[in-house]
């Protein structure tokens, strides 16, 4: 996969996650529940998905190395990043 495709996939992923985040908030889910859901999704992806590029490998290794509390931080950071993307 080339860098342009990786960039497009990343932008598509952020848009999908942003839409899910907006919908979750619109139905009244708290940020704590959303954070917990993001962590559970991260755990599932770490078990089931095969990284397709260096960025995905890095994120997978970070996730697998992180403690439970560190995974919560990563989930919060992903939410914060997506919130910032939605403001642009």
Q: For position 30, which CATH number holds?
A: 1.10.760.20
The length of the chain is: 88
What is the C-alpha separation between 71 and 27, in angstroms, rounded?
25
Number of domains the chain contains: 1
**Domain coverage including residue 8:** 3-87
Q: What is the dihedral of CA 66, 67, 69, 75, to 10 degrees?
A: 30
State residue 67's pLDDT score: 96
pLDDT in tens, 3-57: 666 666 778 878 888 898 999 999 999 989 999 998 998 898 888 888 888 888 9
Is the pTM above the cut of 0.85?
Answer: no
State residue 14's pLDDT score: 82
The answer to whether the CB of 18 falls within 8 A of the CB of 85 is: yes
């Amino acid at each position: 996969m080339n860098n342009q495709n990786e960039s497009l996939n990343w932008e598509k992923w952020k848009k999908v996650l942003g839409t899910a985040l907006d919908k979750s908030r619109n139905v009244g889910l708290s940020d704590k529940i959303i954070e917990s859901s993001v962590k559970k999704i991260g755990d599932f992806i770490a078990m089931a998905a095969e990284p397709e590029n260096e960025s995905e490998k890095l994120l997978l290794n970070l996730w697998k190395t992180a403690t439970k509390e560190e995974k919560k931080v990563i989930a919060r950071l992903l939410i914060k990043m997506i919130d910032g993307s939605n403001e642009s």
